Every structure is written in structure tokens, then in C-alpha cells.
Amino acid sequence: MNYCTLRSTAEETIATNWSTTLIQYENVPFTPPDDGWVSVRILPSTSEIDTLGQTGYDRYNGLVSLLIFTPSGAGSDRAINYGITLGSLFKRKSINGISFGAYTLRKMGCPYEGFYCVAVDIPFWFLG
């Protein structure tokens, strides 16, 4: 298990279960549409020794962070509901050996003019 497996698992889960907006993946060319999109970010965090010994395991932690962009002036409900739906794809699930926790939904400043932005952060951990 490694971060590349995590990335592909998260991206595949979203791509398979989300067709409401376009999806932006890290380091892939993307032109933002006028009607909103979801941006996928993998944020590795800490690692720690889970078991001792030569054949032990390390635990790797981090966040799958989904940035949801909707047009300004359309209210916040659309972005928040998208966030709830996307967070629920991972909440308290184990997918391909990766454990996901409860998500956090938060409002944030938007780097794109004309858009409203909400972030959904989903903690993950796996043994490697």
C-alpha cells in the first residue's frame, strides 16, 4: 500500500459515483467550467509505527480534500449538498485497504472570481 494506491482509489471512487459536475485531478490540465466543478486533492500527513519489529507495519495518515466550486450568487445549499454527497462516498468506509473517517465540511475563501467554494476533508489511514 502506498500514496499512489490511495490517490487512484480516491479518484476512482469519485469518478465512478459522481457525474454531477466535472472533476479536476491534481497535475492534470483542466479548464474550469462556468457551472462549477470538484477538485480532488490528496494531503498526506503523518506516519507512525503501528507495530514493532522487522516485519511490522507503519500507519500513514492524511486527508482526501475535495474543493467544491459553484457559481457565486446561487446560494450555499448547492455546494453544501454536493459536499455531503461526496463526503458520504467515503464516510466510515474501508476501500482497497484504506480506512476513511467522518468528513468535515467547511466554507473557505475562493481563489476563482465568480465562484463560491466549500471544502470536504475526509481523513484516511492505511498500513504499509
Domains for the chain: give ranges and CATH numbers: 3-127 (3.30.2000.20)
Place of cell 476501500: 95
The span from the CA of 72 to the CA of 113, in Å, is 8
CB 1 within 8 Å of CB 10: no
pTM score: 0.91
One-letter identity of residue 55: T
- Residuewise pLDDT in 10s, the chain (128 residues): 788 999 999 999 999 999 999 999 999 999 999 999 999 999 999 888 878 777 788 899 999 999 999 999 988 999 999 999 999 999 999 999 999 999 999 998 888 899 999 999 999 999 98
Q: Which residues, listed in sequence order, are joined to residue 127 by a DSSP beta bridge?
A: 59
CB 22 within 8 Å of CB 35: no
